[in-house]
Chain A
Amino acid sequence: MSALRTIATVAVSVFRESVRDKVLYNLVAFAVMLMAASYLLGQLTAGQDIKIIKDLGLAAIATFGLMIAVFIGIGLVWKEVERRSIYSLLTKPLSRAEFILGKYCGLGLTLAVNLVVMVVAWYAVLAYMGASVSPEVRASWAAPATDPGMLRAVGLILVELMLVTAIALFFSTFSSPFLSAGLTLGLWVIGHFNADLKNFESVVTSPAAVWLARGLYYVLPNFSAFDIKQQVVHAQPVPAAYLATTALYGAVYIALLLVASVAVFSRRDFK
């Protein structure tokens, strides 16, 4: 059986497992409720209701997606090893690389499906909002309520989440869930402060420290690049080139992490 089919088989199995996971359902249900509740919150903002629904929706999608990526990602490999189901699985005709890739794609599929559910709920609330105000108010908005341009931000969020998943998976190949979660979330936070590393020289005088900071800036994942939420809410232009290069950056970084994960996993002894 070809490698792609093997990977797909494992991916579908991961997807099936996450679909049967109650925690996941609760997370998604909560996100959907939040979308509905944002309608109420919109009443508080002295007229900026549509902005806050857009902001809140994007933030919820990003946050819940992050939680799913981290909390399922850290267990992807660890859980299999811990409950020893890996013994029977790895003796079937699949390589360790196919196993890792299959797990990754499975979680990616889960993430994508969850994002779609959340986006649908969000657009439903936005459509309702757009329909329930007067045409004058609607005319004063910078962008329509159900502006499809916002999907570009969702797209970059998905790439960002796939990168987080890859990081979580990498840690999951050799460390416990607790440590993996800490390291993954830590990297996510640091990845948002990336710009500060670049400007280190204005704060610190030692050239070695500046060099180190610069180096880290280039090597550590730059998560703030994936954030175009503010731009799409205000319908500011985002060049297609930016989207392409950022997505490419994400894809290459993901590939790097997957290669590392396969390398670590292939050398492991399963005692």
Chain B
Amino acid sequence: MRRAATPVLFVLLLASVVGLQAARERSGELPGTYDELLYVRSPEALRRMSLSYHSLLADVYWIRAVQLYGDTKLGRRADRGYDLLYPMLDLTTSLDPYFDVAYQFGALFLAEAPPGGPGRPELAIRLLEKGLRAQPDDWQLHQAIGFVHYWSYQDYGAAAEWFRKGSRLPGAPTWMEPLAAVTLAEGGNRNASRLLWQQILRSASDDWFRNEADRRLKQLDAMDQVETLTRVVATFTARQGRPPANWDEVIRAGYIRGTVSDPTGAPYRLESGAVSLDPKSRLLPLPKTAGEPQ
């Protein structure tokens, strides 16, 4: 009896430990724990303290930054918002100045308006300029800065300039120069934007980057579709003398073949003659482009 008791007891205790840990995890951390994500705020101090392990520590902070972003986006962090995202990325890139992906992540998501990001393009620029100090000849950083100017500031002249500078650097892809030209000529135009995202989609090394590019392209498609549908509704209104009440009327009138949904599958809404995306659609909020109402 004694002999069997010890392993049984051991297994029971081990199971309890695992169970308790899972329960703790479900109940969540104590409030205020998130402040501890950044024990050290000064990148220089952290680099010193990491004693030749800075690359690895950069990886750790990178993982945390990505998880932080994901958690915030999914609403798990209550009122905290994205305020730790920039410090995290700043630490990551201070520990490893060559950590290209971190810069690109920052460029993309720091500038993104809420709820997709904190909406702080100036932080993105700051991060990228820091990266340029370490790697002045990195074409990807140039592209990223141009990107922020294009998307967040709608400053197509500056964006084109950055793309042009980047296209001259070693290793730059061949599409960068035409991209600069298109940006200068038609910046803000949906075609230019589509070109930008298509290039990113093709050259992105990471899943999250690719997914984001894909999403943006879908947004552009959705905007095209909204325009087309608005035209159809206008035609209907002109012909019938009143706006359609719902999509069925439009279908019966023969203007469209079936229910229309956006590229993510959420159906478009038709209300008092205005076409819009389903509020729950993943593609919201749609980006601003020059001369287009939101």
Check if B48 sits within 8 Å of A193, measured CB to CB.
yes
Query: Is A56's beta carbon under 8 Å from chain B?
Result: yes
Rounded to whole angstroms, the CA-CA distance of A47 and B98 in the bound complex is: 16
Tell me which of B51, B62, B203, B204 contacts A48 (CB under 8 A). B62
- Chain A residues 192 to 247 lying within 8 A of chain B, measured CB to CB, are 192-193, 196, 223-224, 227, 229-230, 233-234, 236
Say whether A48 contacts B98, CB under 8 Å: no
A140→B52 contact, CB < 8 A: no
- Asked if B52 and A46 make an inter-chain contact with CB atoms under 8 angstroms apart, the answer reads no
Interface centre among A44, A46, A59, A233 (most CB of B within 10 A): A46
In the complex, the answer to whether A48 meets B55 with C-beta atoms within 8 Å is no
Among the stretches B33-41, B205-213, B248-256, the one at the interface with A is B205-213
Binding site secondary structure of chain B: helix
Provide the residues of chain A in CB contact with B62, threshold 8 Å. 45-46, 48
B223 at the interface (CB under 8 A from A): no
Q: Does chain B have a CB within 8 A of A147?
A: no
Across-interface contacts of B208 in A (CB, < 8 A): 46-47
Flag if B96 contacts A230 (CB, 8 Å).
yes
Chain A CB within 10 Å, residue with most, of B56, B62, B206, B208: B56
- With beta carbons under 8 angstroms apart, the residue of B55, B56, B205 that contacts A140 is B205
Q: How many A-B residue pairs have CB under 8 A?
A: 61
Which chain B residues lie closer than 8 Å to A142 at the CB level? 100
Tell which of A45, A47, A55, A196 touches B55, judged by Cβ atoms closer than 8 Å.
A55
The reply to whether A62 and B52 contact each other, CB–CB distance below 8 Å, is yes
Find out whether the CB atom of B53 lies under 8 angstroms from the CB atom of A46: no
Asked if A236 meets B59 with Cβ closer than 8 Å, knowing A46-B66, A137-B205, A229-B52, the reply is no
Interface size class of B (residues with CB under 8 A): 20 to 34
Assess whether B165 is interfacial by the CB under 8 Å rule.
no
Can you list 29 A-B pairs with a CB-CB distance of less than 8 A? Answer: A45-B62, A45-B63, A46-B63, A46-B208, A47-B205, A47-B207, A47-B209, A48-B62, A48-B206, A51-B59, A52-B56, A52-B59, A55-B55, A55-B59, A56-B59, A140-B203, A140-B205, A141-B205, A189-B51, A192-B51, A193-B48, A196-B48, A223-B52, A224-B52, A227-B52, A229-B52, A230-B98, A233-B55, A234-B96
Given A48-B101, A59-B53, 4 additional A-B pairs, CB 8 A? A45-B59, A47-B205, A58-B55, A230-B54
Chain B positions within 8 Å of A, measured between CB atoms, are 48, 51-56, 58-59, 62-63, 66, 96, 98, 100-101, 203-209
Q: Which 10 pairs of residues, A with B, have the shortest CB-CB distance?
A: A47-B206, A140-B205, A234-B98, A227-B52, A46-B66, A55-B55, A230-B55, A59-B56, A55-B56, A192-B51
